[in-house]
Amino acid sequence: MPLSKTTKIQAINTMLSTVGEPPINSLAAQRADALIAQNILDEVCREVLSYGWQFNTDEGVYLTPDSNTGFIYVPDTVVRVDMDRAELEYDIVVRGNRLYNRKNNSYVFSGQIKVVQVYLMDFDEMPETAKRYVTVRAARIFQDRMVGSEKHHAFTLRDEVAALATMNEYENEVGDYTIFDSPDVMRTFIRQGSYRVY
């Protein structure tokens, strides 16, 4: 049988195997250990996706304020919003489910703004390297909470470090990053001064 991408149930069964528990056949299983494993997997997914990776980040997204209030609402699936590099008029942060402009201390926006958004996504939508890292990290946390074995912790921590290295390698390959993606380097090139080259 050919290999296929990791599913959520396979990830949960991997987590259960770290504490010597039998696998489940369905996500609807009501075993306490399986429910705890599923909650930890979801928790780790949110944590990892909140960092913002190439696969869950959209640049150049235009947001329009509500016509009645001037508020810009942020969907529950968006975990981070930042201004596009070219936009200097606003300094935004997410407060609750709305954007807040720190430059004028207001939730009200007068027009459309261009932003970068980081999204949450289902486990099955993530690339395989991200699934692997999330599964191994969640398995270590699950084992720590359920058993607390130092020996198993060290073993799964090594797996977690290797999975993170693979995920970072994937990110660097598909992200097509350059030195000019660094805010510090960009600031050097755009700062004003008599030495600026035109």
pTM beyond 0.95: no
Q: How far apart (Å, rounded) are the C-alpha atoms in residues 1 and 16? A: 23
Among candidates 112, 128, 108, 134, which has minimal Cα distance to 3? 128
Q: Which residue type sits at 86?
A: A
* Residue 114 CA to its chain's centroid (Å): 20
Q: Give the domain ranges of the chain.
A: 8-51+124-174, 54-121
pLDDT score for 185: 62
Q: What is the pLDDT of residues 160-196, one digit of tens each?
A: 899 999 998 999 888 877 776 665 665 565 554 444 4
Q: Which of 163, 179, 56, 171 is nearest to 118 (CA)?
A: 56
**Alpha carbons 13 and 195: distance in angstroms, whole number:** 61
Mean pLDDT of 27-40: 92
pLDDT single digits (tens) 84-115: 877 778 889 999 999 999 999 999 999 999 99
pLDDT for the residue numbered 124: 95
